[in-house]
Amino acid sequence: MDKFVVNGGNRLKGDVTVSGSKNSALPILAAALLAEGPTVVRNVPELEDIVAMVDLLRSLGCEIRREGKDLHIEVRSEAHSHAEYDRVRKMRASVCVLGPLLAKRKAARVAMPGGCAIGSRPVDLHIRGLRLLGAEIELDSGDMVAAASRLRGAEIFLGGPFGSTVLGTDNVMMAATLAEGTTVIECAACEPEVEDLANFLNKMGARITGAGTPRITIQGVEKLTGCDHTVIPDRIEAGTFMMAAAITNGDVTIRNVRLDHMMAVVDRLREVGVSVERSNGSAIVSSARHLQPADVTTQPYPGFPTDMQAQLMSLLCLADGNSAITEKIYPDRFMHVAELLRMGCNIRKEGPTAIVTGVKKLIGAPVMASDLRASAALVIAGLVAKGQTMVNRVYHLDRGYESFEVKLREIGADIRRVNE
């Protein structure tokens, strides 16, 4: 198992380029199941989660070839429509093959994803939306067994106790592309990744309007063809580099950034005293030593993303005063707190809120996290900690950050991967 060894104290400086979005690429790859003819998806990051999705799609009859950052996909057989538990268990985004399989192959068997380190993560809204389109879905041996001879357009409200659902919106939107008539999704997720998927589907011949807003309208069509699409830049990777630049008092130009997808993150950074400037598709992030505290609540897009909560917490651990971070999407997503305490941070949890009292310095320590973003937060803390930080279980990071340590090293971090 690999770990990262980080020697803290280096100021990050230079240029780093953001990869394609993991959370855009995963549902887009699943949507290729709907195509008749070849599909090319460009700017696909090389990550463990993408490898898992490619393996799953191959098991469902797709032929897939990688050329650099581009994936060439063609559906060769529709004989198998079973996404097995062993695959779904490894990566929850596997659940987004359910909508495409149901729409295209009229039947699907997809293992029900379990919980994970960040919470219970139900899929009731996915099921509800697909049932409203006319699918019959039963649970059998832990699998969702779905069938529909013909899906029919419907009005579907997708709000849940924590707001909208990203992959649930994706699943219903994908299924509705081939349904008879018009589907309206209300309380749809507005994330840029949903909009990217809709753009991809429209290039395939779908008729979707309103993606990126809470109301998406889909006019069903008879068939979808292959297309050529470039995935948007990863806003969470970009935000993670912003936090790394800020915490090290650095001066980093982050290339291939969609700042319009990141306004909540940029706003919070500016509020705590970090400079973020826009320059031709790049963001220049620099910071002076004094960081102000801030109160932050995670929300669905365009609010502050839950996927940036842990990384921001590392930064606020060095602010001059008390910050309050409230997690409204996954109330238990605080795996990083106990590990940050090991590095000398002062954090008190009160329900879904963490009160972070800034300290003067962080101290290197062996730490470990069991989720992707929490691991990134620990690396960020390690970049500024006194002495050495060992971040164990790097496979979590490899699921979602392409060449993370290589990119950090290129901008001056002292970080290396060690194989135990």
The residues that touch ligand EPU, with contacts defined as CB under 6 A, are 23, 26, 92-93, 119, 121-126, 160-162, 165-168, 189, 193, 306-307, 329-330, 372-373, 400
* Rounded least distance, CB 123 to ligand EPU, Å: 5
Is the separation of the CB atoms in 140 and 214 below 8 Å?
Answer: no
Q: For helices 48-59 and 22-31, what crossing angle results, to 10°? A: 10
d(CA 320, CA 272): 9
- Closest separation between CB of residue 334 and ligand EPU, Å? 14
Nearer to ligand EPU, 291 or 394 (CB): 394
- Give the C-alpha separation, 195 to 208, whole Å: 10
Minimum gap (Å) between residue 236 Cβ and ligand EPU: 6
The nearer residue to ligand EPU, 163 or 382, going by C-beta atoms, is 163
Which residue lies nearer to ligand EPU by CB, 115 or 321?
115
> Residue 211 Cβ, how far from ligand EPU at the closest point, in Å?
15
* Alpha-carbon gap, residue 327 to 374, rounded angstroms: 13
The one catalytic residue in 116, 187, 317, 345 is 116
The nearer residue to ligand EPU, 317 or 329, going by C-beta atoms, is 329
Cα separation, 11 vs 252, whole angstroms: 10
Q: Which is nearer to ligand EPU, 26 or 185 (CB)?
A: 26
Report how far apart, in Å, the C-alpha atoms of 243 and of each of 160, 313, 315, 343, 392 are.
30, 10, 7, 17, 20
Q: Is 116 a catalytic residue?
A: yes
DSSP assignments along 319-367, one per residue = SSSEEEEE-SS-TT--HHHHHHHHTT-EEEEETTEEEEE--S--B--EE
Query: How far is Cα 219 from Cα 326, in angstroms, rounded to an integer?
Result: 38
Distance separating alpha carbons of residues 54 and 58, to the nearest angstrom: 6
Among 256, 231, 254, smallest CA distance to 244 is for 254
Q: How far is the CB of 133 from ligand EPU (least distance, A)?
A: 15
- Where does residue 414 rank: exposed (0-12), middle (13-18), buried (19+ CB within 10 A)? middle
The residues that are catalytic are 116
